[in-house]
Structure 1
Amino acid sequence: MSHPRLLATACLLGLGLLIPAQAEAGDALRLGVFAQYDLLRFDEAPAPLDDASFWRRGRVSLGGKFANGMDWKVEYDFVPDAWTDVYLRLPLAGGRLWLGQFKQPLGQEALLSDKAALFTESSVSGAFAPGRRLGVQYVRSQPWGTLAVSAYGRDIHDAGPDAGLGARWYRGFGDGASGLLHIGAAAAVEQPSSASLRLRVRPETGPKGGSWLSTGNLPLDRQTRYGLEAGWQHDRLLLQGEWLGSRFDAPGGNHSSGDGGYLAAAWTLRGAPRVYKDGLFGTPEPGQSLLGAVELVARYSRLDLPLAGGGRTGQDAWTLGLNAQIGKYWRAMLDYTAAEDRSGRDATGWTLRAQFAF
């Protein structure tokens, strides 16, 4: 058993002693359990893509809120043996200050909770999102919008850039009754911890199914990330899209760049539509009936990347899906994905997911 897992197991044993106190403590202490199991089956796929059945995520968390407005969260994922969210948030000068490890402010799809994802896997444009890093972030809302500014470095497990600075701005217009429009923009500049970067791409299927594209080792002295995002929701219809990219500066003044984006649509067939909060379209609270919200979703995505030896690679992908909330704690997702890379190779497959979240 690895050291991170030993530490997490010790923490969980301690949490077990605190469970009886949770009901009495209310928001002062919250225990969370979150697990996803996937079945991936390809109809057509070149090697090394292959069928797989696997735990996608298996997380346990502890968090709480205090009367002074502070809140905190500590979460461990047993699947990759890694700490995910580990942060403290507190009110400061009309906004909120984040301290610890959290998702950095770039990528609307990447920032959305994994529990509330529209699809079993994010689009390939997620390759440009920085993900979770250790840092400090300040977020404040004004009539002209909400601005998040973050300074960060490597994560708890010593992965990622030596230093980075990122910012995201977004604003929502209207309300759920007459339609709601969301727009946003984000950017980040990073000093990498390695002299090269290698990006691997999957056809928007789970990691155990393998990747089929790779950039090779791109020389890297500095990386700049950027993105634009938009969404529109009216009644049961949600339309959402993003364009993200990155510039890879190499020693000697050379550089290359890549970009990608997606357009997605969701139609709520049954139950309450998604809820807009903090610049993201998340799922509503589960209802009282056995079958809750049911969504029909579709997405088109495109990715273009440089190759270390010159030239380009990338893919186009279509995904159709059906999501259903079952009771208070369960969710089922079924996605069909068809992707094609720049050389004309095709990959088509199904992903069935069972999700439990408490």
Structure 2
Amino acid sequence: MALAACATGLIAQPALADTVSTKGGIKVKSDDGSFVGEFGGRLMLDAAVFDNDTADNASGTEFRRLRLHSKGKIHGLGYKIEVDFADGDTVTKDAYLQMAVAGGKLTIGQFKQYFTMENLTSSRYTTFMERSYLTSFSPSYQVGVGYWGHYNALGFGISAFNAYQDEDADGGSGTTEGVGGSARVIFSPSLSEDVTLHVGGSALVTGGIEGRNRVRVRAAGHLSDASRPDIVNINTGERSESTIFALEFASIAGPLSVQAEYLGGTFETETVEQDVAAFYATTSYFLTGESRPFNAKTGKFGRVKPRKPHGAYEIAARYDYVENDSNDFEVESVTLGLNWYMNPQVRFMLNYIAADVAEGSDEPNAVTARMQFDF
């Protein structure tokens, strides 16, 4: 009996090895291959110390992101479900099905809309702890349908979605809801083995927004709650709409990379019109010789893999600006960054932020730090 049980166990092991894998993550595959799943998550623990001016930002810590996800394929259809548990709230991020159509991918469900390069780049791979002010105008995760295709160095996407905003999470009350659409076109040729060039443009249109239509920025990082002015705040009781265009540029030459984006647009009702603009420029350099990975098919930055056992070191600087031309209100900042990529899954970040809100009415400075890992 013992020999039989032992033999049975030895026979069963190869079958188990074929269905469960830990190479590059936790992956499961059904016996018939109809289901392939991957399970993972990310944790970002932040800390900030402020040198306040007029606003009283509280120094402290927070779990900026605490997410779990599952993604894979079911009978040839791609899927992804991702939930964020940071700050004790449960928020659905991605939740969609995806299928191959005409050489591209059709996505149905909740996903990031096709708008701007930095917004679409995963938070795991952004150079600084927080994205630029420009991304505050992005619709981000919305329920809708979208198509992304690519041909050689050209990529293009279009989506239609339910323009939903939870104002409770943004300092207001209730919800706003309307309809929207986005489009993005990119051109990302590889000029040589070590040099990549990327240019692109995005457009975003929303309409029928009921209630408040609001855009806010955190001037000195995510914990700067007191330095959180409204760039747009339309709450007239009329339905509002917006039209926004953005341009993007990136270049990677060995350890040096440069990226920049510009945005301009209009928010309006029958009686109100507000014009906005935003811009940022970033440069980074790897002291240890790595190069920022870039996916030319999707126009997004990817995971840095250190070349040395002691990891990779990156220094970076960014200028960030946003304004509302209609009321001469602006916010700008300079951010300096140091990143240590301990290994491909673990990163430590240190940022110094010097911000200026409305020409000196509030000038908060902050030192922020992050411990990050994903699996």
TM-score after normalising by structure 2: 0.82
> In 2, Cα distance between the equivalents of 1:101 and 1:351?
31
The SS at the match of 1:114 is coil
**Cα distance change, pair 41–19 in 1 and its aligned pair in 2 (3 A):** farther
> In 2, Cα distance between the equivalents of 1:243 and 1:355?
29
Equivalent in 29, 33, 42 of residue 25 of structure 1: 29
Q: Give the letter aligned to residue 288 of structure 2.
A: R
**Cα distance change, pair 208–225 in 1 and its aligned pair in 2 (3 A):** same
> In 2, Cα distance between the equivalents of 1:208 and 1:76?
24
Corresponding position of 1:240: 259
> In 1, Cα distance between the equivalents of 2:134 and 2:84?
23
**Cα distance change, pair 223–174 in 1 and its aligned pair in 2 (3 A):** same
How much does 1:25 deviate?
2.2
The SS at the match of 1:47 is coil
Equivalent in 309, 316, 340 of residue 356 of structure 2: 340
Corresponding position of 1:280: 300
Corresponding position of 2:171: none
> In 2, Cα distance between the equivalents of 1:271 and 1:191?
47
Paired residues for 1:46-61 under 5 Å: 46-61=54-69
TM-score after normalising by structure 1: 0.85
Stretch of structure 1 that moved more, 29-38 or 45-54:
45-54
Q: Give the letter aligned to residue 259 of structure 1.
A: A
Corresponding position of 1:352: 369
Corresponding position of 2:285: 267
Paired residues for 1:1-358 under 5 Å: 22-25=26-29, 28-65=36-73, 68=76, 70-79=77-86, 80-143=89-152, 145-154=154-163, 161-175=177-191, 177-207=193-223, 209-215=225-231, 217-218=233-234, 219=236, 221-252=240-271, 254-270=272-288, 272-277=290-295, 278-285=298-305, 290-305=309-324, 311-344=327-360, 345-358=362-375
> In 1, Cα distance between the equivalents of 2:223 and 2:180?
26
Query: % of aligned pairs identical?
Result: 28
Stretch of structure 1 that moved more, 261-270 or 139-148:
139-148
| Structure 1 residue runs of 4 or more that deviate by more than 6 Å after TM superposition | 18-21
CA RMSD of the aligned region, Å? Answer: 2.6
Looking at CA atoms only, which structure, 1 or 2, has the larger radius of gyration?
A: 2
**2:29 touches 2:36 (CA, 8 Å); kept in 1?**
yes
How much does 1:284 deviate?
3.0
Q: Give the letter aligned to residue 291 of structure 1.
A: H
> In 1, Cα distance between the equivalents of 2:283 and 2:212?
36
**1:40 touches 1:209 (CA, 8 Å); kept in 2?**
no
The SS at the match of 1:232 is strand
How much does 1:238 deviate?
0.4
> In 2, Cα distance between the equivalents of 1:159 and 1:236?
44
> In 2, Cα distance between the equivalents of 1:54 and 1:209?
12
Q: Which runs of 5+ in 1 are unaligned?
A: 1-17
How much does 1:246 deviate?
2.6
> In 2, Cα distance between the equivalents of 1:23 and 1:101?
23
> In 2, Cα distance between the equivalents of 1:23 and 1:195?
44
How much does 1:290 deviate?
4.5
**Cα distance change, pair 295–161 in 1 and its aligned pair in 2 (3 A):** farther
Q: Give the letter aligned to residue 248 of structure 2.
A: E
> In 1, Cα distance between the equivalents of 2:199 and 2:293?
16
**Cα distance change, pair 234–67 in 1 and its aligned pair in 2 (3 A):** farther
The SS at the match of 2:189 is strand
**1:271 touches 1:292 (CA, 8 Å); kept in 2?**
no
**1:176 touches 1:233 (CA, 8 Å); kept in 2?**
no
How much does 1:317 deviate?
0.5
Q: Which runs of 5+ in 2 are unaligned?
A: 1-18, 167-173
